[in-house]
Amino acid sequence: MKDELPQLLPAHLGIIMDGNGRWAKRRGLPRSAGHAAGAANFKKITRYCSKIGIRYLTVYAFSTENWTRPAEEVSALMTLFRKYLEEALRDFRDDDIVVRFLGDTAAFPPELQTLIRETEEISAARTGMVLNIAMNYGGRAELVRAVRSIAERVRAGELAPDAITEETVSSALYTAGQPDPDLIIRPSGEHRTSNFLLWQSAYAEYVIMDVLWPDFGPDDLNAALREYANRSRRFGGV
């Protein structure tokens, strides 16, 4: 069947939510309309992932480079984020989803920072899927942050330089304690990582799909999951 799910699902799924602006342009709408449509789809796909048994879902919502977009678009995105979090606090109380934020959230307006903290605190005791929302996130910035943290430990005498391992680095990342992503999906047809989970995605499978994010539905996700299930993952071996 077209929408049939494979038995093998990724424990950790990453999605680069791309194509909102092009979706709006094709319809003669402002880019903000595309972001609003993308946010609505994000809710739908998040709930679907939770329903089918994905354990960890990481979505790329706002990168460190997105600040360079026109001020009007950035402002519209901040308003959209605030609206989403207010709705999440109200509407997602019955969803068994733990919400975490990856990135330097201190750069956001105080009201948005407060909503971020409240969302994390209210959902912390849940036991279902972990949803990571990457906001003001960049893979390089994350690695710089991790290196600085490790360097401080070395300077304090808590860690010897020759004792630094891959696990040391992983434990200093925003995703500490979580498995690395098994599959990363990029709708919109673009073939690049865009600074997303650079360390964690070393052996992730990528599926590029020629559908813009607001139009990306459960059938598209199922198709990507079936492709993932048919991949042979050797992790550098034979």
List 3, 66, 94, 215, catalytic entry: 66
Determine which helix (DSSP H) or strand (DSSP E) holds 38, and give its type and residue range.
helix 31-52
Select the CATH number that applies to the domain covering 12-138+180-229 from these four: 3.20.20.70, 3.40.109.10, 3.30.70.100, 3.40.1180.10: 3.40.1180.10
Give the pair of three-digit tokens for residue 125. Answer: 């005791």
Element (H, E) at 61: strand 56-63
Helix %, strand %, coil % of the chain (to 5): 45, 15, 40
205-216 confidence digits (pLDDT tens): 999 999 999 999
Domain extents for the chain? 12-138+180-229
Measure the CA–CA gap between 69 and 99, rounded to whole angstroms.
26
Q: What is the pTM of this model?
A: 0.92
Angle at 206 between CA 20 and CA 119, to 5 degrees: 55
Task: Give the active site residue among 3, 18, 162, 230.
Answer: 18
Tokens representing residue 105 in the block: 């959230």
pLDDT of residue 6: 86
18 annotated active-site: yes
pLDDT at residue 1, as a whole number: 43
Q: Tell me, yes or no, if 104 is annotated catalytic.
A: no
Using only the alpha carbons of the chain, give its radius of gyration.
Answer: 18
Nearest Cα neighbor of 72 from 37, 21, 118, 111 is 21
State the pLDDT confidence band at 65, using cuts at 50, 70 and 90.
confident
d(CA 43, CA 88) in angstroms, rounded, equals 9
Q: At residue 30, does pLDDT exceed 80? A: yes
More confident call, 163 vs 21: 163
Range with the largest mean pLDDT of 40-49, 127-136, 163-172: 163-172
